[in-house]
């Protein structure tokens, strides 16, 4: 059973990060739209190498998500299918699916605009604002997550990531990794 607290966390990622076109389910079109939003944020044009790389990563993430979560094989990942998949993840975060690792790395690299191996508040909040989240809330979320540190390394990010999906602790710093300050 997924607790209400964890369901709220999962629904935030479902709605704000995956169901890009807000249709109520996740499918391939959401990833195409996400790639367009990212390209707009970074100023890339169709055919630019980094744009192609983002499209390839998102295609791989969608293929992995669909094969792992789309239980009824209708080409859509529903909220129920999403929750079941993350419930399985939470039982063994170390055994995460390849696409889940890829998505964590994708988000980290997307946020690390300066490419110095760490993300700061501005990098974190500007990516989330481009995806439609409230920028001021994302800045506050970074502060709660980083607990006084100016930036978060990839090593730290992975620990926070697992907390987000698996932890029942309402005070876990990882709860703020997707830019929301309360659930």
Enumerate residues 61-90 that contact Ca ion by CB under 5 A. 70, 72, 74, 76
Check residue 163 for interaction with Ca ion (CB under 5 A): no
Check residue 120 for interaction with Ca ion (CB under 5 A): no
C-alpha–C-alpha distance, residues 87 and 82, integer Å: 9
Q: Which is nearer to Ca ion, 82 or 124 (CB)?
A: 82
Check residue 100 for interaction with Ca ion (CB under 5 A): no
6, 9, 10, 19: which one contacts Ca ion (CB under 5 A)? Answer: 19
C-alpha–C-alpha distance, residues 86 and 12, integer Å: 13
Check residue 21 for interaction with Ca ion (CB under 5 A): yes
C-alpha–C-alpha distance, residues 8 and 103, integer Å: 20
- The tokens for 98 are 């390849």
C-alpha–C-alpha distance, residues 41 and 77, integer Å: 26
Q: Around Cβ 111, how many Cβ atoms within 10 Å?
A: 21
Q: Which is nearer to Ca ion, 56 or 74 (CB)?
A: 74
Residues that bind Ca ion (CB under 5 A): 19, 21, 23, 30, 70, 72, 74, 76
């Amino acid at each position: 059973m997924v607790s209400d607290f964890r369901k709220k966390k999962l629904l935030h990622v479902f709605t704000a990060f995956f169901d890009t076109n807000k249709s109520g389910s996740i499918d391939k079109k959401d990833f195409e739209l996400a790639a367009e939003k990212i390209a707009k944020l970074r100023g890339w044009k169709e055919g630019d190498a980094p744009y192609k790389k983002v499209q390839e990563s998102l295609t791989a993430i969608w293929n992995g998500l669909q094969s792992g979560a789309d239980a009824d094989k209708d080409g859509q990942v529903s909220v129920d299918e999403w929750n079941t998949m993350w419930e399985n993840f939470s039982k063994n975060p170390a055994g995460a699916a390849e696409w889940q690792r890829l998505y964590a790395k994708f988000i980290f690299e997307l946020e690390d605009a300066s490419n110095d191996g760490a993300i700061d508040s501005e990098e974190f909040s500007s990516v989330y604002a481009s995806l439609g989240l409230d920028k001021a809330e994302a800045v506050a979320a970074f502060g709660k997550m980083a607990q006084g540190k100016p930036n978060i390394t990839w090593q730290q990010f992975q620990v926070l990531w697992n907390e987000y999906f698996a932890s029942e602790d309402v005070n876990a710093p990882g709860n703020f990794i997707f830019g929301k300050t309360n659930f």
